Structure 1
Amino acid sequence: MHPTSSSSTRVGTPPTPFSADETRFSASSKRYTSQSRYRESTHLIPTPGVDKNRPKRYDPFYLWLPVVIGTPLLMMLLGIALEVGIELSSKNGGFAVRQQNVLSVVSPQFLLSFFPQLFVIPVGYTWRALDWMLRWYQPYVTMSRGSATAEESVLLDYIALGPFRSMFRALKYNHRVIFWSSLLAMSTYIFQPLAGSIFQLQMRSQTSYSSAQSIASLGLIPDVTELNAFAAAAGFVQAAVFNGLSDPPFVKKGWSAAEFVFPTNTGLNGTMTVNTTGIQTTANCSNPTGTPTVDLTTGVISSTSLSGCTSNIPFNPSVSDQQYGVQAAPCPADSTVNVTLLPVVFWFYQKNESTQTTEAATVFCNPSMELFYIHADADLSSGELTGVDIVNNYTKPNNVSGPPLNGVPYNAVVFDNNTNPFIQARATATNIGVPGAIFRAATQSIGGVQGQFDLPNGFLDLTSTLYLLHLAVTAKSVYFVAENSTLSSEEISLVQRLWIDPLPAHILSFFLFASGFLGVFLQLINRRQRRNLFLAAPPGTLAAAAALTAHSGFGDLLLPYDDMATLEKKLDGLRFRLDKRTGAVLADDYEPTGEDTSFRGPDDAMMSLLGHNNRDTVQSSSQLAQEAALEATAYPLYKQQLKTPYDK
């Protein structure tokens, strides 16, 4: 037979005395009753601090005040420091670094991506540890406020959910501190890729001012009559045509600068600007006034220059179908001028194989030169003259601007006959070498030699370019003498600079500062929420959980093989809280009777910093419905605690 029940005590469950925290009370919206489905023995727990000293409160390292406040403040400082670094990098064109890699076993790219991450990994790890602690403590924080449903207290495991899923569960239970903490913890995962991409090595120009050593000054070399410089210049022009060489050092498009010593830094890459002297040479080449005439009988090519002076050029048509050369082209007024200073005429002859006619082309050139003080820009790696800026005319008297040259350059291709066979050989080589280089350039052109004869300015363009190169190289060797002097210089070098990429750096600094700024408030609010929470041991162990709930009694309702759905169903009608006397977890039966008018504490006011705290009231089945369900089972009421989910 089933035992009978009375109005005060459920059948099959002996009455138990009430402890201090089991006092029956009621309000207009809720009614908490003494436990009737299980027997709790919290009243048997001695009051801490009476019989023996109260145990020390468990306070994990990550929840110490210097850690919870220092970590977000450090994140803010890192964000501010990164913004300062971005500004300095933009203002100064990056930061100076060693031009050669210090560690040869690793690349600079690895170092630039690895070491910046060492600064953000500690703060990212510490913030995720803080978030872990907040999620770990949240069920106990909720129970310390009282009237906590099972879903947001004893059944809630934010640690197992992880930060991502915890955000959505926190929204469900209005745990806004957990939501923002988990969101910021998720944002720390992008710290590392951003930190690994903010630094770059870029080539930037760097200007430095110093002095340079000049090793040449304006003046006519003493052995000019040996013709070594002229033959060497002609040889360079020929080599340039055959091998496509660029201008030699200190020579650039008709400019010749005094040589100076370059810095010995092997890793230096850039330009050097020096205040020095230079000569600007001009070829002044032009076509004749009409088509040259060829007289095969006398072997003479006749051509008239723009100044009206006619030159008769002897040649031997029986020697070759293609011939070339250069000779002086004086006018009657130039009869007293030395042949080395006269204008010249370059001539080119060929027999057209297709038409069997003879053709001749002539180019008249009257070279000139000017002396200047200049700013010479030279490439530090190759020594090539990259640019020349005129400062002023050179007025200091010397044997170039004065006697014997009086500012008139050598034509550099025509010389007096010399009885010294070696000097005469150099004169002949120079005289035939320069026009030979021009004719060779014509053969290498797209239309060949015939194309240059067909073009109105074919040979004029080639002659102007190559003869000017010959004059400039000659000027560098002939019109500068060895002399040491100190010159002011400006070095514009291309050096490696450590550059902060603004885009990822701004994103990283924003996340660091925003996380730190919000983190200060989150930690302060959570610290205030935990002010009445007393845990003597780390709450994550089974022993700690048993210590908190061993005397609570509601464990009698649960079985080891209950799944989550069964646990939720069995604990649905209970509200959980922490006993203020012992710290144990207590459960109260709950009956909803109307609207929620529960007390709001100061923690709810603090939560307004993150949003309104409208805590939903979770409805459960009434006590009468539970009793009716128990009466309908085949088991006696006093054996209900022995029934398992596997019994039918």
Structure 2
Amino acid sequence: MSWFVVLGTPFVILALGIALEVGTIVSSERGGFKVPPTNIFPLVSPQFLLVRIPLSSSEYGYSRPSSQSFVPVVIIVPLAFMWREIDWVPYILLWKGGSPAEESLLLDYIMLGPFLGLFRASKYKHRIVFWSSVTALATYFFQTFAGSIFQLRQKEQDYSISVTSIKDLGLIPDVNQLNAFVAAAGFAEAAVYQSLPDPPFISKGWAVAQFTLPTDPGLNGTVSINTTGIQTAINCENPVNTSLNTTNPNSFELTSQSVEGCTVNVTYDPIVSSIQFGVLPVSCPGSSTNITLQPVMFWFFHNKTDGSPEVKTVFCAPSIKAYNVIASVNLNDRSLANVAIENERVPSNNVTGDPLAGQAYNGVIFNNSTNPFIQGRSLATKSSVSGAIFRFASQMPGGPQSSFDLPNGFLDITSIVYTQHLSVVAKSIYFVDANATLPAKMTSLVPILWIDPFPAHILAWSLILVGFFGIVLQVLHQRERRKVPLTTPPGSIGAVVSLTARSGFGELLLPYDDEAALHRKLRGLTFRLDRRTGAIVADDVEIYDHILGADDATISLLERSRSRDQTISFASSTELASQAASGYPPWKTPYDR
């Protein structure tokens, strides 16, 4: 066997260990290795190639073992080949001669395997086999580390790009048509019913100028841009005093007073419905005379389980503020991820200046209109927002009664629904069409291949050590193995028969002998390989009752201690003639020089 074949496996193991150690160091320094954002192998997933993933079969009611990824298995498989070379060990011992049957003919390291072979090699002081067993056993522990060294992670990576801003700060000209208000109220109501998140470019009271986003479907990250944002504050609070006059069973009168001392009266017929709600303007000293810019009061009425009436009110005074901000928008759903205030130096416009002068529309109270469509939108907006608040309370555990019982029950719900409504309104009415190219930073989540340092270092150094010792073992083993005169590698039945067919001691054995019988019959005998023929022969055995011709070749095969002239021939002349005619015994072998 050539040195290239002998040292190929341990050199590959050593190289894998060094490569893994270098790769681990580079991975730690660079934060991983870039991989394509899309799978380049349509039929094979990256998880199959690199990552060990657990498999479960819940539909069958049991769990299966974890699957093994391809690359770690490729690292481990070559190690198994080191163990396959120890099937030569008994022949090496036979070549040295004087080998008992237990250490040669009856010794099967392949069947024992590396674990049991370790103890047998220690017993017989077969050092090469012992250390080969140690390296083979080490490979079983490598699988755990190999299955966990690779991870696919998401890493943020920044790019400088340009985006087109399609909105700028300004009051839309058709604000009095109330289309934006009724649409925002409808969204707020739908959000309560369907648990919808904030729409694009809106988040938690913020509305920013809309801009275009990259459309690459493989992108997963955010785009940050310097733009203009409107922050809406609803400033809601509980009343300081609320009373309900039920003297007239057909007309209840609700009176509620705000913290600022503003009083609002509501008269309604309790017979019409056991559940009623609405919103009214709050006229306070110093407030705007325009009811669309005034504070508002939401009120809610229902009958308790005992039939007694109960009311709640919430006062809100919305306000807006314009800022220069850094807005971050998610690429996958265009949701507003974050808003960071830079400054308040916003150019003057008809939102921060005349006619609004920074005042906010309350979004639910409007002037009466002779246009039935506009008037219908006004009524729908008021009904939708207050109705969405009451619907939210009804969806709470315990129904609306739980919100009536809590001191801040309706205050908290009103803050959520009203903030979302006014944020959508702000995006619709405080920004006008514009077109400008602005610099932006795109932070994209890209997949990377990460090598976990802890298992990788252990596996790498284990591979290096196994590879190094494997080279030493293979060199020592090769030196001993090359002396063995075998024309056919051991393993096949034919190869074994060719080595023992004419050795003589086979007459002791029968086809139906079990393992115990073989040990019993061969106990006390020593064996070796004949230096001329390469056959397995027994040392110093007694003459059997039936044996082949005692010519020179047979004496050489049996290797008796007696000299040729002392040997007694039991063979007939007919047998000797037949052997001579057939070319046996082999007077000249391939090993004779």
Normalised by the length of structure 1, the TM-score is 0.69
Aligned in 2, Cα 1:496/1:434: closer, same or farther, shift over 3 Å?
A: same
**2:355 counterpart (399, 404, 412):** 404
**259, 277, 280: which one pairs with 1:324?**
277
Q: Does 1:210 align with 2:164?
A: no
Per-residue CA deviations over 1:472-497 (Å, capped at 9, x if unaligned) read 11111111122233344444445544
CA distance in 2, matches of 1:405, 1:155: 105
Matched AA of 1:69 = L
- What do the CA deviations read for 1:298-344 (whole angstroms, capped 9, x no partner)? 8754333222233344545665454332222122333x632221222
2:79 counterpart letter in structure 1: G
How far apart, in 2, do the equivalents of 1:556 and 1:332 lie? Answer: 126
Partner residue, 1:290:
241
2:130 pairs with 1:179: yes
Deviations 1:369-411 (A, max 9, x none): 1222223333333322233232332432222112211111111
Question: CA 1:408–1:169 in 2, change beyond 3 Å: closer, same or farther?
Answer: same
- Contact 2:13/2:78 (<8 A) preserved: yes
- The CA deviation at 1:108 is 4.5
Q: Does 1:79 align with 2:17?
A: yes
CA distance in 1, matches of 2:169, 2:353: 12
For 1:5-84, list aligned pairs within 5 A. Answer: 60=1, 64-84=2-22
- Write the mapping of 1:237-636 to structure 2, written as runs, cut at 5 A: 237-294=188-245, 301-315=254-268, 319-334=272-287, 337-350=289-302, 354=306, 356=308, 359-500=310-451, 505-506=456-457, 508-529=459-480, 533=483, 535=485, 537-538=487-488, 540=490, 555=503, 559=507, 561=509, 564-565=518-519, 568-569=522-523, 571-572=525-526
SS of the residue 1:81 aligns to: helix
> Quick one: higher RCO (CA 8 Å, sep 6+), 1 or 2?
1
| Identity value in percent | 43
Contact 1:194–1:505 (8 Å) recurs in 2? no
Q: 1:640 to 1:248 in 2, by over 3 A?
A: same
State the alpha-carbon separation in 2 of the partners of residues 525 and 452 from structure 1. 85
The answer as to whether partners of 1:201 and 1:496 remain within 8 angstroms in 2 is: no
Structure 1, unpaired ranges of 5+ = 1-59, 591-622, 627-636, 643-648
Do the aligned residues in 2 keep the contact of 1:558 with 1:567 (CA within 8 Å)? no
* CA deviation map 1:138-176 (0-9, x unaligned): 225534xxxx34448864655665553544443333221
> Cα gap change, 1:484/1:205 in structure 2, threshold over 3 Å: closer, same or farther?
farther
**Matched letter for residue 160 of structure 2:** S
1: CA distance between counterparts of 2:27 and 2:461? 18
Aligned residues: 521
Q: Give the residue type in structure 2 aligned to 1:354.
A: D
Secondary structure (helix, strand or coil) at the match of 2:348 reads: coil
CA 184–288 in structure 1, closer or farther in 2 if over 3 Å, else same: closer
Higher Rg: 1
How big is the shift at 1:364?
1.9
Structure 2 length normalisation: TM-score? Answer: 0.74
One-letter code aligned to 1:79: G
Alignment root-mean-square deviation, CA: 4.1
Q: Is the 8 A contact 2:90 2:103 kept in 1?
A: no
Q: Tell me: CA distance 1:419–1:71, structure 2 relative to 1, closer, same or farther (3 Å).
A: same
**What is the distance in 2 between the residues matched to 1:586 and 1:404?**
116
1:182 offset after TM fit, Å?
A: 3.7
For structure 2, the residue ranges without an aligned partner over 5 or more in a row are 51-67, 511-516, 542-560, 572-593
Q: Distance in 2 between matches of 1:247 and 1:560?
A: 92
Could you tell me how far apart the structure 1 residues matched to 2:194 and 2:497 are? 92
Determine whether 1:127 maps to 2:79. Answer: no
Over 3 Å counting, the alpha-carbon distance change for 1:141 and 1:434 in structure 2 is same
1:261/1:526 Cα in 2 relative to 1: closer, same or farther (>3 Å)?
A: same
Number of the residue aligned with 1:115: 70
